[in-house]
Amino acid sequence: MPKNSRSAKLKKRFAMAKNKNNDRASELLEKAMDKLFSKKSESALKDLREAYLIDKHNPKVVSALALCYMMIGDRQKAIEMYKKSIELMPDDTRLYYYLGRLYIEENKQVEAMSILSTGIYKCKEKLKARPEVDTFIDLAKIYAFQSQHEESVLTLFKALKMDEGNFEIYRMLSEEYFNLALYRESIVEAEKAIKLNGGDSESFLYAGLSFHKLNVMSKALEYFSKSLALNPAQPELKSLHDKIIELKSQNGPTVEEIIYFSKQSERYRGTVKWFNDENGIGYITRHDDGSEIFVHYLAVNKDGYQSLYEGEEVEFSIDTAPTGKIAVKVDSLPSAVSKVKTGKVKWFDEDRGVGEIAIEGQEAVLVHYTAITRSGVKTLAPGDFVRCEIFETENGPQAFNVTQAADGSETLLIENKGDGKYCGKIKWLDKNKNIGIIEEEGGKFQAIFKPSETLDGGAGAKTVKVGARIKFNVVDVEALESENVKKAVNIEVINND
């Protein structure tokens, strides 16, 4: 037989044997993955070892074997396999995260920082070439593992823009918000994850942990119970769950629970006597009898930063706690002494989550993404018109409770009238006290006014209504320190229907 013919036959037989081995390795890999998903790690390990002996250069087999070793707790072998996986698949960014975790668990800090830094670089390079949801998620995981929680959240926003139906993104946001002590935000994102995947124990876990931090123990127990039902192998959570049950039986509901579950409906009005932002507590003086009512920040009906300030007019209900009467369901009333401003976004850096808002009549103020009240992706675009509350911080005035406003196209002055007057509507009115609040139609400012000072004389006090459209001039009046309070004068009623 010619030499070339014999060589060709040998190559063909070798190829057939190789294909047969590859098929066998793929078959074993498929069986092993089914077992891993069923949490049968030991049984999966046997199949994966056999598959590895057949084909040591199959990247899927190697990475699956690394995962299996990690699941059974054999960190040394898991590290060995993940290192080999990275050699075979250097662009698979998940591998850097898992290997970095293993190095940390083995107290190999230098190796961990090196591999995680490489992972961040690989993720960023991949995202430059082709932005993908999975790569954003891998990058967010690495940031989170390095306790760079702000960077993790901002990266998850980018993933969320691409895939709003990915439960893992919401679950990770819940975890990261919890790590940042933003517990209400954590609950919102956890509930979104649960809606998309009711079988994820971690989503229930972080919702429960956040309610626990807010001291709403009944809700914490509810979510902890669901998490344990899905994954009983959480001994620390089981211990916390049982401890809360014991404490509740001894102490009854917390103040925070009374606020959260209150069904009181009778409404009262009052003025904030004082409120301490650091402690989140204060007192309201009732208008009807002058008594003082304790108020907790959780009782303030705001989506974002829950705060009140001295002199603010509020409406509220009253409930009873072991310590006495407390205000619940607290709403701020329209007030000339208001921290609410309208502004325009100058710039916003999505990578850092910060920007500036130009406020009419004062310097631009800093805005952080956590001040944006909407859930999901928290970002702003230059030119956006927003409403916000301005509070003093150690870094100067800063915007909080930022919400989208009108497009800003409304003109401040009545067109074609030549009288230089503003246009607005009556937002609040107390005829008995001859006082009310007018809001400029573009939401730029509010001004106090006296109904008796309408240009039609005393009749205005009797006929003017909330919602009436009016024209007016403004003058500044003295009020609390640092507050710019406007008073409406030369008031004309345009439409009182």
Residue 163 placed within a domain = no
Residue among 463, 478, 429 nearest 449 (CA): 429
Name the percent of the chain lying above pLDDT 90: 52
Residue 271's pLDDT is: 92
Are 231 and 183 in a shared domain? Answer: yes
CA distances to 38, 188, 190, 194, 230 from 198, rounded to whole Å, are: 18, 15, 10, 5, 9
Question: Domain tally for the chain?
Answer: 4
Least confident piece of the model among 279-283, 418-422, 432-436 = 418-422
Last residue of a domain, one of 332, 348, 369: 332
Name the percent of the chain lying above pLDDT 70: 87
CATH code at 231?
A: 1.25.40.10
Are 185 and 203 in a shared domain? Answer: yes
Of the pLDDT bands very low, low, confident and very high (cuts 50, 70, 90), residue 436 is confident
DSSP summary character for residue 389: E
Least confident piece of the model among 152-166, 182-196, 422-436, 462-476 = 462-476
pLDDT tens digit sequence for 168-193: 999 999 999 999 999 999 999 999 99
Can you tell me whether residue 300 is helix, strand or coil? strand
Residue 415's pLDDT is: 34
At 483, the amino acid letter reads E
CATH code at 328?
A: 2.40.50.140
At 23, the amino acid letter reads D
Residue 144 placed within a domain = no
CB burial of residue 267 (10 Å; 0-12, 13-18, 19+) = exposed
Residue 122 placed within a domain = no
Mean per-residue pLDDT, 320-332: 90
Residue 448 placed within a domain = yes
Last residue of a domain, one of 286, 308, 332: 332
Dihedral, CA of residue 199, residue 201, residue 205 and residue 208, to nearest 10:
30
Residue 18's pLDDT is: 47
| Residue 323, domain extent | 267-332
Residue 211 placed within a domain = yes
Count CB atoms within 10 A of the CB of residue 70.
Answer: 21
Among 137-151, 247-261, 371-385, the range of highest mean pLDDT: 137-151
Are 426 and 464 in a shared domain? Answer: yes
Residues 6+ apart with CB under 8 A from 405: 342, 385, 386, 387, 443
Residue 136 placed within a domain = no
Can you tell me whether residue 354 is helix, strand or coil? strand
Are 373 and 393 in a shared domain? Answer: yes
Least confident piece of the model among 1-15, 137-151, 360-374 = 1-15
Measured distance CA(228)–CA(241) in Å, rounded: 9
Are 393 and 439 in a shared domain? Answer: no
Residue 2's pLDDT is: 56
Does 278 score more than 70 pLDDT? yes
Residue 414's pLDDT is: 31
Residue 279's pLDDT is: 87
Mean per-residue pLDDT, 411-417: 34
Of the pLDDT bands very low, low, confident and very high (cuts 50, 70, 90), residue 15 is very low
Residue 474's pLDDT is: 77
At 161, the amino acid letter reads K
Can you tell me whether residue 93 is helix, strand or coil? coil
Residue among 66, 57, 69, 70 nearest 25 (CA): 57
Residue 113 placed within a domain = no
Of the pLDDT bands very low, low, confident and very high (cuts 50, 70, 90), residue 3 is low
Mean per-residue pLDDT, 217-246: 96
Spatial contact of 171 and 196, defined as CB atoms under 8 Å apart: no
More confident residue, 459 or 476: 476
Are 347 and 321 in a shared domain? Answer: no
Residue 365 placed within a domain = yes
Are 238 and 195 in a shared domain? Answer: yes
Does 26 score more than 80 pLDDT? yes
The pLDDT mean for the chain works out to 85
Of the pLDDT bands very low, low, confident and very high (cuts 50, 70, 90), residue 337 is low
Are 276 and 312 in a shared domain? Answer: yes
Last residue of a domain, one of 299, 332, 365: 332
Of the pLDDT bands very low, low, confident and very high (cuts 50, 70, 90), residue 158 is very high
Of the pLDDT bands very low, low, confident and very high (cuts 50, 70, 90), residue 464 is confident
Are 303 and 283 in a shared domain? Answer: yes
Residues in the chain: 497
Residue 468's pLDDT is: 86
pLDDT tens digit sequence for 72-85: 899 999 999 999 99
Least confident piece of the model among 51-60, 409-418, 437-446 = 409-418
Residue 349's pLDDT is: 95
CA distances to 69, 103, 298 from 108, rounded to whole Å, are: 18, 5, 43
Mean per-residue pLDDT, 408-423: 48
pLDDT tens digit sequence for 140-154: 999 999 999 999 999
Does 417 score more than 60 pLDDT? no
More confident residue, 55 or 9: 55
Residue 462's pLDDT is: 59
Are 297 and 358 in a shared domain? Answer: no
Of the pLDDT bands very low, low, confident and very high (cuts 50, 70, 90), residue 458 is very low
Residue 17's pLDDT is: 44
